[in-house]
Structure formats: C-alpha cells, structure tokens
Chain A
Amino acid sequence: AQSVTQLGSHVSVSEGALVLLRCNYSSSVPPYLFWYVQYPNQGLQLLLKYTSAATLVKGINGFEAEFKKSETSFHLTKPSAHMSDAAEYFCAVSPIQGAQKLVFGQGTRLTINP
C-alpha cells in the first residue's frame, strides 16, 4: 500500500526566507506525486504534480518540487517566502494505473513571519 509522510506538522519561516516542506512516499513502484495547498476556509488547489516526466517540477506561485527516487522524496521549495504563502500544504501520492484515490500526507501548516 502506498503512503505519504510529511515531516513537520508546522513550519515557520520569515518573509523572504527559503521555504522547504518535506514529503517522503512509500511505494513499490514510482508513483505520481502531487502537492496541494489549502488556504483558510477554502478547498484544496493543485500546486504541482510529478507524472514521470522531468524530475524537477515547477508549479504555481513560484513553488517547485524535485522527485528523488533514491530518497523516495518529493520536497516542496520556494526560494523566497511571501506572506500570502501562509496556508496548509498537502503531499499526495497516486498509483500510475488503477488510481481510485489519492493518498494524502498529514499536512504541514506554513506560517510566514514578517
């Protein structure tokens, strides 16, 4: 069975600092991987996805993530945090075929300090 672990339920960074949100997955074969963002009182929006093309994936709002098969990781980064990045972030995994659901990590709440 596939699973996702997000390290750190809360991450706090200063405005302008690097954002790094960690995600490790467990899967017998390389899966598809996603990052979603949830702003307060809103649903989840797709930030980016990895579907076995380029290992470095660029998403919206300046975020990117790198798929590292050897480390079974898909960490999310942004070079310079903005106040508007404050939200909860979810990493999710899906098999390539037969995907009846996304398996989500526990979520990481990102706080931006002025």
Chain B
Amino acid sequence: EAQVTQNPRYLITVTGKKLTVTCSQNMNHEYMSWYRQDPGLGLRQIYYSMNVEVTDKGDVPEGYKVSRKEKRNFPLILESPSPNQTSLYFCASRQGRGLSGANVLTFGAGSRLTVL
C-alpha cells in the first residue's frame, strides 16, 4: 500500500530533550515536506525537500532541523524542544520536485508532540 509513515504517533517529552520524528514514504516521491498543525492556524510548512540532499526552509523553520540522505526518508529533528513546539506534525510527499502545483500531497497520519 502506498503510504507515508510517521513515528512516533504520540510523544510527551520535556524541554531540551532532543527528539526525532521519522517519516518514510514508499512511493518513490522526490518531494517531501513537514507541516505543523495548530488550532486556528491551519497547517504551516516547516521544511521541505525537493530531492536527496536538497532541503529548504518553509514558513516556520525555527527550532527544527531536517535531513534527506535517502529518497524515502525525511526525519524532523528537534534539537532542544520547547513548549511552543507542542503541536500536531504531518509529513507529506508527492511526485515531482514541486514545480507543478497539480501534484497531490500524500500525508502521513500525524505525530502529536507535547513538550512539558
């Protein structure tokens, strides 16, 4: 089954404790992206990647890092989490390198992160 898989689905952590949210897709998609969802704000893009070793900032990149060493994986790293990073995170992928807006994003099921 074609899908985007995120782990963990739920995580409670404390301020400053480094964590990684993994994202993997099995559709051979070039483009991958991370979004965070907050009430009343919709989804906002954190980082995106158009291909292996090519990443760029989205609208809210502060406090996050990403890497794209393999085509299928796009982990989101929080080096020193803070309470304002408590949110629902979504990884998404799509075919192509983002040049055509018609390509549809496929989303993972989400990772709910709480930072105390």
Contact = CB atoms under 8 A, between A and B. Distances in A.
**A interface, by DSSP: helix, strand, loop or mixed?**
loop
A99 B40 contact: no
Given A32-B101, A99-B101, A43 B108 contact: yes
A98 B56 CA distance: 14
Contact of B109 (A43, A94, A100): A43
Interface of B: 4, 33, 35, 40-45, 48, 50, 56, 58-59, 90, 92, 98-105, 107-110
29 contacts: A32-B102, A34-B104, A41-B109, A42-B109, A43-B4, A45-B107, A49-B104, A51-B101, A51-B102, A90-B42, A90-B43, A94-B101, A95-B101, A97-B99, A97-B100, A97-B101, A98-B98, A98-B99, A99-B100, A100-B48, A100-B50, A100-B56, A100-B98, A101-B33, A101-B58, A101-B98, A104-B35, A104-B44, A106-B41
